[in-house]
Amino acid sequence: MSNSYDIVAMGAGHNGLVAAAYLAKAGKKVLVLERKAWPGGGVVTRQINTPGYWHDEHSSVHIMIQGNPMIRDDELGLQGKFGLKYAYNIPYAMIFSDQSTLVAYQDLDRTCEGIARISHQDADTYRRFAQRAIAMLPMFGAGLYVPPLPMGAFFAMLDQSDEGREVLDAMQRSSLQIAHDSFQSEKVKIWLLRLVSENLQLPDELGTGFGMFLMPGLMHGFGVSQPIGGSGKLSESLVRCIEHYGGEVRCNAEVRSVLTSAGRAIGVQLCDGEQFKARDAVIGAIHPHVLRKFVDGVPEPVLQRAERATLAAFSLMVSHYDLKQKAEFYAGEEVAHAIMLEFMATDTLSDMLDDFDALRRGRISARVLGAGGDESINDPSRAPPGRGMFHGITMAPYNLEDGGPHRWDEIREQMGDRSLRHYQSFVKNLTSDNIIHRSIVTPLDHARNMPTSMVGGDVHGVAPYFYQIGGHRPTPDLAQYAVPGVERLYLVGPFLHPGGGVYGAGRATAMRVMDDLRLDFEKVARAKVS
């Protein structure tokens, strides 16, 4: 077997697979190397507990990717040729402690009818809010799936119009301030702020208010979806695409270092000593905090700035339950179909803010900030016939004030039980007689499982703060996907623009690589999949 390729990519997370797929479609001989025994990184669906129950290990909901031309125009043939199928349902719902609900449908009129039952004024405000956000989608989309503009040019562009200045203003404020300035009902504020916090941002964190525009726009403009069969079906379709164009994805292949010569990346070396040469480029899913570990020749100031990139203030604990029967909710059947479903232990905004404040200090919050659902209700293929599964998410700190991150190994099951009691307040039959098996994945587990992308348990790479967006994400040095001091070494991952979550952001890395190789990206993207 030849060990020489045009492109060698380190890491088979969905972003790395996306970049590799575009380059393979462009005719490059591509090799993707993955440390684990399976590809997909944080976009993986596996039988974690019991055979026949297919759980999403990390990412479950695909929101941001819906505006990506990769999906919208099927540039890689993932939907037309390689088996990816998306199912759309109710984008978002919240169950409050009194079992009342507030539901966001893709249909804006229907959503506003539900808000009006709480506040007519807030319903009118939300309609205007969402309509502005939908109108801005073309502007958002133009910049989300391509390399970012330099920050100066980006600010100058926004400052040329009323709409742009509105976005620039929101980007510097907190979501909480925008909620206070715009809405009256505490329930409506809680509903919106919890939605935005899905991006691992605190409601009162300055420089995060942009999500108050982006999330409603995406929900009502493109909808919210999950791949049929689980989140990992996206990764599987990308592997098929790469292999279709003659590329290879090799698992159980952990990279130790990037090989360089005369200031240029020329390949990689595995931990077992095997080497692979790259004629054109090396692409690395290498978090800025660990860049020093994998490559020599990067200027020390660049490395120091990379190591100062700020992680999110909190992480997630995930609970995977295999059930004999599908989950039943006290609030009724409709909310069971919501793709994003939040369980609120309080109807008081002050209580919720106290809980988020605890997270930033490394403390376990007084009330569980939890979400989840039975994904087999919308997609029966995820569990054996007639059975169910429950995917629970609890917001939690990585670095615990009492004991640090390693204390998670001691309190794993205790915290799982605490979250279970919270879920049971909303789910009738999440009981011992219906639970077949449970497994708990802690913030420390995320860091262990994904050591080059989820450093510090940050499942989105780095925090989405104003100073770490666009042309400054994760740092100004690294924001254009290339590594200073090492030619033909490129980065890919959630720590880069446009951010964490399932964006298909490897498209932008592929654009940068193709630009340097003098390949016409648009021609490749538009070409019919053979």
Tally of domains within the chain:
1
Q: Per the domain annotation, does 131 fall within a domain?
A: no
CB atoms within 10 A of CB 241: 25
Q: Which stretches of the chain drop beneath a pLDDT of 50? A: none
Residue 473 confidence (pLDDT):
97
Give yes or no for a contact between 338 and 359, defined as CB atoms under 8 angstroms apart: no
Give the pLDDT confidence score for residue 10 in this predicted structure. 98
pLDDT at 140: 75
Whichever domain contains 236, its CATH number is: 3.50.50.60
Q: Within 13 A of 260's CA, how many CA atoms are on the CB side?
A: 18
Rounded CA Rg of the chain? 22
Residue 398 included in any domain: no
Two structure tokens written together for 119: 């506040």
Domain assignment of residue 493, yes or no: yes
Cα-to-chain-centroid distance, residue 411: 26
List, for residues 74-130, the tens digit of each pLDDT value.
999 999 999 999 999 999 999 999 999 999 999 999 999 999 999 999 999 999 989
Residue 281, in any domain of the structure: yes
Write the CB contacts of 5 (distance below 8 Å, at least 6 apart in sequence): 29, 30, 31, 276, 277, 278, 279
94 in a structural domain: no
Give the per-residue pLDDT at 215: 87
The residue assigned the tokens 């088996």 is 83
**473 within domain boundaries:** yes
pLDDT value at position 1?
52
Q: What are phi and psi of 45, to 5 degrees?
A: -120, 125
User: What sign has the CA pseudo-torsion 186, 191, 192, 193?
Assistant: positive
* Domain range for 22: 4-48+61-81+228-308+454-526
The pLDDT tens digits of the residues spanning 278-294 come to 999 999 999 999 999 99
Beta strands in 36-175 (DSSP E): 45-46, 55-56, 86-88, 90-95, 101-104
Asked, for residue 44, whether it belongs to a domain, the answer is: yes
User: Looking at the domain assignment, is residue 516 inside a domain?
Assistant: yes
